[in-house]
Amino acid sequence: MRILIDSGSGCCNGVGRAISTAESYLADHSELFSLGAIVHNDAEIQRLAALGLRTVGYADLPGLRGSTVLIRAHGEPPSTYELAKEAGVSLIDCTCPVVLALQRKIAAKYAELSPVGGTVLIFGKRGHAEVNGLVGQTEGHAVVVESMADLEEKLSSGAISPAHPLALFSQTTKDPEEFAALAAKLRKDNPDVEVFDTICRHVSSRHRALREFAATCTVVVFVCGRESSNGKVLFELCRSVNPRSYKIESADELPAGIFRPDDIVGICGATSTTRWQLEKVAASI
């Protein structure tokens, strides 16, 4: 049996930057607070908690006056910065540069479209931290579209009107092919709809590379946290190519009897999965 670890898997640059920033701060301080989970990965959160990273919510900020709080890679809406200022906390802003650029694009486009009755559309998961930050750039007026079925329902109900100016953006970690299909659907009714492909290049290239990786293996073990949206998308992509794909959070969850002596086992993960976790699963197998 051969075991291969996908060379492209591991934390994306934005998440990796936030983690390394937290580690550097905690090398000189006993405690750091993260506004929301720094990564959708329980094992990594536990590792960082042992170093002194504490996960907090918005309601906790008023009680943290004088403390330092990290803004994770997902980014935050403008209201969070106002809340932090009122609470008297210092911020370490680790918003991913790709997400930050997207926030600015959406804010500028909303300022342009709002006076003429236009709508900003965001392809993403409703309630996801990154999407909340993006919607916040439009004072809460952006329309979030989760799928083709969701788009069709919003068009039929009038929640989205093709007769008015539209601008379509995407959460940075979504499927490029699904985004392209949504754009094509909108352009059928409104050829002038503005489409901004804001999917992270690291993520979009991962889709193509992961398809190829899954196809070269006889069995795929996909490692990611249960709350990882990106993990759910990438795992389904692997399974569409290779039916013998299994999603686990740690080596303890490996199903019994899934391997054969002549298997080529491919180990891969989400943009929130660390390299050490992939290596630990490989060692266990």
* pLDDT tens digits for range 160-210: 998 899 999 999 988 889 999 999 999 998 899 999 999 988 777 888 899
Of the residues 31, 82, 86, 130, only one is catalytic, namely: 130
Please give the CATH number for the structural domain made up of 98-195.
3.40.1010.20
Identify the pLDDT of residue 16.
Answer: 92
Q: Does the pLDDT of residue 72 top 80, yes or no?
A: yes
Buried b (16+ CB within 10 A) or exposed e, 56-66: beeebbeebee
- Cβ contacts of residue 270 below 8 Å, gap of 6+? 9, 40, 222, 223, 224, 225, 228, 230, 231, 234, 235
- Categorize the per-residue pLDDT at 12 as very low, low, confident or very high, splitting at 50, 70 and 90: confident
> What DSSP string runs through 259-281?
--TT-EEEEEE-TT--HHHHHHH
Q: Does domain 2-9+202-284 have CATH number 3.40.1010.20?
A: yes
Looking at domain 13-96, its CATH architecture is: 3-Layer(aba) Sandwich (3.40)
**Residue 230 pLDDT:** 81
Mean pLDDT of 135-140: 97
Q: Is 194 tagged catalytic? A: no
Nearest to 37 by CA among 228, 186, 179: 228
Instruction: For residues 152 and 244, give the distance between their C-alpha atoms in angstroms, rounded to a whole number.
Output: 33
Mean pLDDT of 136-145: 97
**pLDDT tens sequence across 77-130:** 999 999 999 999 999 999 999 999 999 999 999 999 999 999 999 999 999 999
Does the pLDDT of residue 11 top 90, yes or no?
no
Tokens representing 274? 């660390």
pLDDT at 40: 87
**Domains 2-9+202-284 and 13-96 are alike in CATH topology:** no
Tens digits of residue pLDDT in 231-279: 888 999 999 999 999 999 999 999 989 999 999 999 999 988 999 999 9
The pTM of the full predicted model, rounded to 2 decimals, is 0.86
Q: Is residue 147 pLDDT above 90, yes or no?
A: yes
Q: How does strand 166-170 pair with strand 119-123?
A: parallel
- Helices 13-26 and 97-113 pack at an angle, to 10 degrees, of 120
Domain ranges in the chain are 2-9+202-284, 13-96, 98-195
